[in-house]
Amino acid sequence: MNVKFEKFLATVERYLKPLPTSERVDIVKEIKGSILEMEQGDLSEEEILKRLGEPKDLAKAYLGDLMAEESGFSFTRVLTVCAFYSVAGLSGMFVIPVLGIVAPVFIVTGVLSVLCMAVKLTDYIFHLGLPYMENIGMFSINGVSVMNPFGEFFAALVIGAVLCFLGQGAWKLLKFYCIKVGKTKKDLSI
Amino acid sequence: MNLDKWKSQIARGTLEYCILLMLRQKTCYGYEILQELSKYPMLASTESTVYPLLRRLLKENYLEAFWKDSAEGLPPRKYYSLTPLGEEYVMRMSEEWENLLNAIVCLKGEKNER
């Protein structure tokens, strides 16, 4: 298959990430089938791409339709209920600021802690003698590091990764929450 | 005078019914449904409207689907057919559709009498 089409399908698949793998694969398989049928039907590459539209929009069409039905997933229910009550402004006053602060702070902290530890490690390796290095560290007794800098760097990487992951999760939750509120508002025609 | 907006609203509102009517007659695959719809100017649609709709109807159990390999050179196709629930659904839709058409006939009729 043509490179442009492969790229198109890859982009659609990327935007379908919120869906389980089996669904994503099935959707892409069906669209690919369509493309091949259109090629057989003597449509030009341009015509085919025009008909399919932007890959992002195509993916959104699938996501929008699927988000519309609530499955038995209880966490979704909890959020929907929160969104429902937040239309009156209650939980929104809590959820939005908390998530809105947690998300960037965790991500920034995660990145910074790795960077700081990288600096300390560089100082150690190259014996640069940078000042304040003893202030960077996690496992120290009376100002003396217990772990060697390589170990500390590795620990920083792990903790940084966890923080970034949590921050991203908080961000996704926040977005999901806002979408749910928007949809609930629409459904209630408020 | 531009009827396009209204026409697209009507098309959007009846697309589900039209697809189910089609599947009531015969099991079809996605692309085939698009081809059939394109015969009717007001109903012509693309993958981005029809495929997610089919997927939703499948999830709601009005349709069932299976993949089948095709002849040489053609891609495998996902075929859709009505479930018993789907049969009942489209029957009820047809009833409501009749009611709507009758209402329109009445509304048209009254104007002619004036």
For the question of an ipTM over 0.90, the answer is: no
Q: Is the pLDDT of residue B114 over 80?
A: no
H or E element that contains B77: strand B77-82
**CA B56 from centre of chain:** 13
What one-letter code names the amino acid at B79?
Y
B64-80 burial, b at 16+ Cβ within 10 Å, e below that, comes to ebeeeeeeeeebebbbb
Tens of pLDDT, residues B24-71: 999 999 999 999 999 999 899 999 999 999 999 999 999 999 999 998
Mean pLDDT value across chain A = 79
What pLDDT sits at residue B95?
Answer: 97
Which residue's entry shows tokens 């977005």?
A175
Among B31, B56, B73, the residue with its CB nearest the CB of A33 is B31
Residue A128 or B97, more confident: B97
Q: CB–CB of B47 and A34 under 8 A?
A: yes
Q: Is the pLDDT of residue A139 over 50?
A: yes
Contact residues for A88 (Cβ-Cβ < 8 A; gap 6+): none
The Cα of B29 is separated from the nearest Cα of chain A by a number of Å equal to 10
Q: Is the pLDDT of residue A68 over 70?
A: no
Among B30, B55, B73, the residue with its CB nearest the CB of A62 is B55
Q: Please give the tally of structural domains in chain B.
A: 1
Instruction: Calculate the alpha carbon distances from A156 to A106, A120, A142 in Å.
Output: 14, 11, 20
| CB distance A26 to A73 below 8 Å | no
**pLDDT band at A2; cut points 50, 70, 90:** confident
Cβ burial of A139 (10 Å; 0-12, 13-18, 19+) is exposed
Mean pLDDT of A139-153: 66
Q: CB–CB of B52 and A62 under 8 A?
A: yes
Minimum mean pLDDT range among A68-77, B50-59, B83-92: A68-77
The Cα of B65 is separated from the nearest Cα of chain A by a number of Å equal to 12
Nearest CA in chain B to A1: B75
| CB distance B55 to A66 below 8 Å | yes
Q: Chain A contacts of B61, Cβ < 8 Å?
A: none
Counting every residue, how long is chain B?
Answer: 114
What pLDDT sits at residue A184?
Answer: 65
The pTM of this model reads 0.60
Instruction: Give the whole-angstrom CA distance, residue B27 versus residue B33.
Output: 10
**pLDDT band at A115; cut points 50, 70, 90:** confident
**pLDDT band at A71; cut points 50, 70, 90:** very low
Contact residues for B11 (Cβ-Cβ < 8 A; gap 6+): B42, B43, B45
Tens of pLDDT, residues A157-183: 888 888 888 888 888 888 888 777 766
Mean pLDDT value across chain B = 92
CATH number assigned to the domain comprising residue B86 = 1.10.10.10
What pLDDT sits at residue A120?
Answer: 81
